Amino acid sequence: MPPVIRFEDVVKRFGDHTVLSDLNFDVAQGERVTLIGPSGSGKTTILRLVMTLEHLTEGYIWIDGKPLTHDRRGDKRVQLKQKEVAETRKQIGMVFQHFNLFPNMSVIDNVTEAPVHVLGRGKEEARERALALLDQVGLKDRADEHPSRLSGGQKQRVAIARALAMDPKILLLDEVTSALDPELVGDVLAVLRDVAESTDISMLIVTHEMKFARDVSHKVMMFDAGHVLEQGPPDQILGNPSHERTRRFLDSIL
Ligand SMILES: Nc1ncnc2c1ncn2[C@@H]1O[C@H](COP(=O)(O)OP(=O)(O)OP(=O)(O)O)[C@@H](O)[C@H]1O
Ligand SMILES: [Mg+2]
């Protein structure tokens, strides 16, 4: 089976600033990988490339063995058409630090919007599934409210339900608890632990919650200036890292 995500010789530049240079890694079906590293090391850029929110400067990203935005044809690198990209992107969900819910829609409409308009699901079917997901994240009774009436932690749980409503193969989580008051973090992490245990969605996770990272991830990758400094099982990287740089980084966030 091909990896669910493969980065092959990925380069990302913003102007003449090289953020990722020659990055290679694989994520297997059901594998959960946590990305750590100092601010500016390229973690968000990696997630945004998978979500096709950034243009890939060089190299390839393969999803289930299929090209995401660029294909290799002979010795040529060919950019795919928007329609082809959109087809693959349906399998990928992302939750952001700042929720990004649609403010003018009720909670349940936030969750059913994409399944109805992108996947073409029936409204009733989408609604039933959305209610089940809202139940899973503990917010079934808030379905008809507007997001503005929810706490940050509740908004983030809606955002998770919204991502899951697309039945993604891949879930990207970018510091989803960083903007929350400390007392709201636990509920969001509990929901994500439940998702990790009850599905085989592959996940790329950026977080400063090291206990959570240790519990849910199979692998931790430490980035420094767009390179993988070291990677391995969470116990090794978080508990006994080889690099002084990793040790200093972990000290700084504890
Ligand atoms: N749209 C952009 N235009 C120009 N430079 C950018 C853009 N987005 C990111 N960068 C630069 O790319 C580098 C990597 O940024 P990125 O957001 O991926 O880092 P990060 O590891 O997620 O950092 P943090 O921990 O602060 O979130 C930074 O130097 C950043 O300034
Ligand atoms: Mg970031």
Nearest to 151 by CA among 195, 110, 182, 128: 182
Of all protein residues, the one whose alpha carbon is nearest to atom 7 of ligand 1 is 14
Residues contacting residue 228 through CB under 8 Å, at least 6 positions apart: 23, 25, 221, 222
Render pLDDT for 137-171 as a digit per residue (tens, 0 to 9): 999 999 999 999 999 999 999 999 999 999 999 99
Q: Which atom of ligand 1 is nearest to the CA of 45?
A: 18
Residue 244 lies in a domain: no
Confidence bin at 10 (pLDDT 50/70/90): very high
Residue 62 lies in a domain: no
Phi and psi angles of residue 226, each rounded to the nearest 5 degrees, phi first: 80, 5
Residue 154 lies in a domain: yes
Return d(Cα 181, Cα 158) in angstroms, integer. Answer: 17
Residue 33 lies in a domain: no
The pLDDT, as a whole number, for residue 223 is: 96
Return d(Cα 248, Cα 237) in angstroms, integer. Answer: 12
Outline where the chain has alpha helix (H).
43-50, 82-89, 107-117, 123-136, 152-164, 182-198, 210-216, 234-239, 244-253
Please tell me the total count of domains within the chain: 1
- For ligand 1, say whether the CB of 160 is within 6 Å of any of its atoms: no
Mean pLDDT of the chain: 96
Residue 162 lies in a domain: yes
The pLDDT, as a whole number, for residue 254 is: 77
pLDDT of 242 strictly over 80:
yes
- Other residues' Cβ atoms within 10 Å of the Cβ of residue 102: 12
The pLDDT, as a whole number, for residue 207 is: 96
Residues with CB under 5 Å of ion ligand 2 are: 44
The domain in which residue 144 lies consists of 103-167
- For ligand 1, say whether the CB of 39 is within 6 Å of any of its atoms: yes
Residue with more model confidence, 12 or 225: 12
Which run of H or E residues covers position 241? none
- For ligand 1, say whether the CB of 102 is within 6 Å of any of its atoms: no
Confidence bin at 99 (pLDDT 50/70/90): confident
pTM above 0.85, yes or no: yes
Residue 116 lies in a domain: yes
Confidence bin at 216 (pLDDT 50/70/90): very high
Phi and psi angles of residue 167, each rounded to the nearest 5 degrees, phi first: 45, 55
Residue 69 lies in a domain: no
Residue 137 lies in a domain: yes
Return d(Cα 157, Cα 137) in angstroms, integer. Answer: 6
Percent of the chain past pLDDT 70, that is, above it, reads: 100
